[in-house]
Amino acid sequence: MSKYLDLSVEEINGLLKEKKIKPIDLVEEALERIENDKDLNAFITVDSEGARKRALELENEEVDNVLFGIPIAVKDNIVTKDLRTTCASHILDNFIPLYDATVVEKIKAKNMIIIGKTNMDEFAMGSTSQTSYFGAPHNPWDRKRVAGGSSGGSAACISARLVPFALGSDTGGSIRQPSSYCGIVGMKPTYGRVSRYGLVAFGSSLDQIGPMARNVYENALLLNILCGRDDRDLTSSHKKTEDFTRMIGEDIKGMKIAIPNFFVSDIVSPEVLSKLNEVVELLKDSGATVDYIDIDYIENAVTLYQIIAMGEASSNLARFDGVRYGYSIEDPVGIDELYSLTRGEGFGEEVKRRIMVGSYLLSGENAKIYYSKALQIRNAIRKSFLKAFEKYDLIIGPNATTTAYNLGEGLDDPLKTFLDDILVIPVNMAGLPGMNVPMGFGEGNLPIGLQIIGNSFDEATMYKLASFVERKLDLNNDPKEVK
């Protein structure tokens, strides 16, 4: 078996340019790796036929950019034309989209090759990917453990080195938390940085697509091509595209860094705290300052998230009714039966629970009592973060309170999944960019991740610090090699 996919993207690009390898070599290698690691359950759909076809077509094309011909996996809540998109749900398990999401158009325009669609929590609702209709993906570091969620399949397939790139989505930590559990680099960009057109909506005011990759530089390379104003998404920003790698390698001397006290409180496990403290020492030694600060209402973020995300989800998921697409029961008696049986059978337990709670939260006077109030407090959180950024360049902390836990754990506790995301959710509330970069290992050789939070549209500075940490720690993040 060839090992091209263990090379850096730039090395692969060199080989392609020199015509020493062809895109089909990369595709065959990725398909072989996916097949050999089938038990990981990282993919819902592998598009071997489409990927091979595209690779052969690309043989006649000029290698025009660094991402040319590189295989990429796409989270299965991002629609791909003619390629099944399920959202890990029974209700869409036969759904073939008619169009490409904007991000999919963008990666196709750079001649990247979509290898398949990754496993996830059903409609991205969960923190372990265990709510998937197709069963949970496993953590490559310990296959008895969860990969995290909801972008668990995307994180697992990069961690296991099946492909170098994946797209994820993050509504309340769904890129950062699995990246932390699987030891990869994941970025949730500023809300509005990447078009949401074609991302099946969960919490519209929170959802954001982002890149997931093996290292900081490659992650930034992928973000470079995902950004830009999209007239099909009115919430997408008019900010110009930029090169997010431009500050990578710069010194961090004089950088002002803050840590919210909440991020080092007793909700965080000792082994995670001790890794964070090691990084803090490293940063101080390198000439950065690190202060501990308070962010208003940060401890309420999970509650606010539940209200906002579930409220919006109850409305966003109303369209899955068996009338126009997706699963639909046979011979219903009347429209009410079509609705109730299609949705009753089509959605899993967690999704139904969130739709019901969300509907309740928006019902009658509740919309004012809960949803409007939540939007107000969310605004206060955002203001508090922005105020901190008047003084500090970046905010850091852990992404998860613990390392990945065992599959099956916490399934009977609907609240646990939210508490897993207690450190990542505040960032979505504030609409800010947040990322994960590995910062070490805990007991059982399980990855621990550092969260870096940036000011609005300041992803470049985040990459600068992330790459500094990555370089200084020089961890081996390939689970095959570490074991």
Partner 1 sequence: MADYKKTIGIEIHTELKTKTKIFSNSVNGYGKTANSNVNVVDLGYPGTLPTLNVEVIRLALKAALILNCEINKEMHFDRKNYFYPDNPKNYQITQAETPIGVNGYVEIEVNGEKKKVRIHDIHIEEDTCKSIHYKHHSFLDFNRAGVPLVEIVTEADMHSSEEAMAYVEKLRELFLYADISDCKIEEGSMRCDVNISVSKTDELGTRAEIKNIGSISNVGRAIEKEALRQIDLLEKGEEVAFATYRYDEKSDQTIIMRVKEAGNDYRYFPEPDIPFVVIDDEFIEEVRSSIPMLASERREKYVEAGISLLNANKIIQNRSLSNYLNKFLDGGINLVVASNILLGDISAYLNKTGLDIENTKLTDDKFRDVVNKLNSGDINSKVFKDILDDLMEKDSSVDEIIASKGIKIISDPEELKKIVNDVLSSNESSVNDYKNGNTRAIKFLMGQIMKETKGSANPELVNKLLEEELNK
Cβ–Cβ < 8 Å for 212, 455: no
Beta strands in 37-88 (DSSP E): 43-46, 71-75
Q: Is 99 in the site for partner 1 (CB under 8 A)?
A: yes
Minimum Å gap between C-beta 239 and partner 1 is 15
Cβ–Cβ < 8 Å for 164, 184: no
Cα 168 to Cα 151: distance, rounded to the nearest angstrom? 6
Whether 150 is a known active-site residue: answer yes
Q: Is 367 in the site for partner 1 (CB under 8 A)?
A: yes
Q: Is 363 in the site for partner 1 (CB under 8 A)?
A: yes
Q: Is 369 in the site for partner 1 (CB under 8 A)?
A: no
How many Cβ atoms from other residues are within 10 Å of residue 243's Cβ? 12
Q: Is 56 in the site for partner 1 (CB under 8 A)?
A: no
Q: Which region, judged by CB under 8 A, interacts with partner 1, from 4-12, 249-257, 361-369, 465-473?
A: 361-369
- DSSP string of 150-191, one letter each residue: SSHHHHHHHHTTS-SEEEEE-SSSTTHHHHHHHT-EEEEPPT
Residue in this structure with the two tokens 């959180």, named with its chain if needed: 381
Q: Is 382 in the site for partner 1 (CB under 8 A)?
A: no
For partner 1, give the closer residue by CB, 200 or 213.
200
The single residue among 25, 218, 321, 420 that binds partner 1, judged by CB under 8 A, is 321
Distance, CA of 161 to chain centre:
17
Minimum Å gap between C-beta 80 and partner 1 is 10
Whether 328 is a known active-site residue: answer no
Q: Is 357 in the site for partner 1 (CB under 8 A)?
A: no
Query: One-letter amino acid identity for 202?
Result: F
Q: Which two tokens stand for residue 370?
A: 């809960």
Q: What part of residues 332-351 is at the interface with partner 1 (CB under 8 A)?
A: 335, 339
Q: Is 371 in the site for partner 1 (CB under 8 A)?
A: yes
Query: One-letter amino acid identity for 90?
Result: H
Structure letter (DSSP) for residue 40: G
Q: Is 1 in the site for partner 1 (CB under 8 A)?
A: no
The single residue among 5, 46, 92, 226 that binds partner 1, judged by CB under 8 A, is 92
Cα 331 to Cα 346: distance, rounded to the nearest angstrom? 16
Q: What part of residues 158-217 is at the interface with partner 1 (CB under 8 A)?
A: 196-201, 204-205
Minimum Å gap between C-beta 366 and partner 1 is 9
Active-site position among 150, 151, 314, 328? 150
Q: Which region, judged by CB under 8 A, interacts with partner 1, from 20-28, 66-74, 78-86, 347-355?
A: 78-86
For partner 1, give the closer residue by CB, 338 or 473.
338
Q: Is 352 in the site for partner 1 (CB under 8 A)?
A: no
Q: Is 145 in the site for partner 1 (CB under 8 A)?
A: no
Cβ–Cβ < 8 Å for 258, 445: no
For partner 1, give the closer residue by CB, 197 or 441.
197
Helices (H), 183-233: 216-226
Whether a cis peptide bond, with omega within 30° of 0, leads into 456 is no
Cβ–Cβ < 8 Å for 69, 60: no
Q: Is 101 in the site for partner 1 (CB under 8 A)?
A: yes
Cα 211 to Cα 218: distance, rounded to the nearest angstrom? 9
Q: Is 319 in the site for partner 1 (CB under 8 A)?
A: yes
- DSSP string of 416-431, one letter each residue: HHHHTTTTTHHHHHHT
Q: Which region, judged by CB under 8 A, interacts with partner 1, from 137-145, 307-315, 419-427, 449-457?
A: 307-315
Active-site position among 129, 169, 174, 467? 174
For partner 1, give the closer residue by CB, 169 or 417.
169
The single residue among 9, 16, 70, 78 that binds partner 1, judged by CB under 8 A, is 78
For CA atoms 104, 107, 108, 109, the dihedral sign is: positive
H or E segment at 480? helix 479-482
Cα 121 to Cα 129: distance, rounded to the nearest angstrom? 4
Dihedral pair phi/psi, residue 381, rounded to 5°: -60, -45
Minimum Å gap between C-beta 195 and partner 1 is 9
Whether 236 is a known active-site residue: answer no
Binding site for partner 1 (CB under 8 A): 78-79, 85, 87, 92, 95, 97-99, 101, 196-201, 204-205, 231-235, 311-312, 314-315, 318-321, 323-325, 335, 339, 359, 362-364, 367, 371, 375
Q: Which residues have a catalytic role annotated? A: 75, 150, 174
